Amino acid sequence: MKYCWLITALPLMMLNGCASAPDDATACGVVSTYAEPTPAEGFYRLVVTHIDGKPVISKPNYQLRPGEHTFRVSELIDAPELKVRLAARVPKEIKVAVQAEQRYQLAAKFNTDRQYSGDDTGYWQPQIRSQESAECELPVDN
């Protein structure tokens, strides 16, 4: 949306200009998965496989319209103390309430509160590790 104005201060002086406000059609937020793992804090990378039930190709950033989005993710935990079977390493979902001009960093939180083994899927959960301001604008659809 564009706002324009015309100001006349003196008979011979005129000022005019335009300013743009964020357009709701291009407003977006960013969900990221690229942060370096920090095993000392229990955070590891994860990979996004689906957004809102639709399969996606994994990438570091996803620009999305504001609103709630559901991410299906798989952990990439590489810790020697992880003793679960491959069958326990199942994808999980996380919902993110995306706001315009915000970046959300997703990570896999490795629960180290006890020993996890066998088919116990409770050894991790997806988390929003951080949130910060970030510019984002979706391309205009023609």
Q: What pLDDT score was predicted for residue 27? A: 94
Residue 35: per-residue pLDDT? 86
Q: How far apart are CA 26 and CA 142, in angstroms?
A: 12
Residue 45's closest CA among 124, 117, 132?
124
In the prediction, which pLDDT does 94 show? 98
H helices then E strands: how many in the chain?
0, 13
Which pLDDT belongs to residue 127? 97
Task: Render the burial of 37-52: b for 16+ CB within 10 Å, e for the rest.
Answer: beeeebbbbbbbeebe
pLDDT at residue 115, rounded to an integer = 82
**What integer pLDDT is reported at residue 5 of this predicted model?**
43
* pLDDT mean for each 10 residues of the chain (142 residues): 44 48 78 91 96 96 97 94 90 97 97 85 95 90 58
Write down the residue that tokens 């200009």 correspond to. 17
pLDDT for 16:
52
Q: What is the pLDDT of residue 117?
A: 82
> What pLDDT is recorded for position 23?
58
pLDDT at 18: 47
CB under 8 Å to 101, separation ≥6 — which residues?
Answer: 22, 27, 29, 133, 134, 135, 136
Neighbours of 138 (CB within 10 A): 13
- DSSP structural state of residue 19: E
Whether the model clears a pTM of 0.95, i.e. scores above it, the answer is no
pLDDT of residue 20: 47
What is the structure's pLDDT at 7? Answer: 46
**pLDDT for the residue 102:** 97
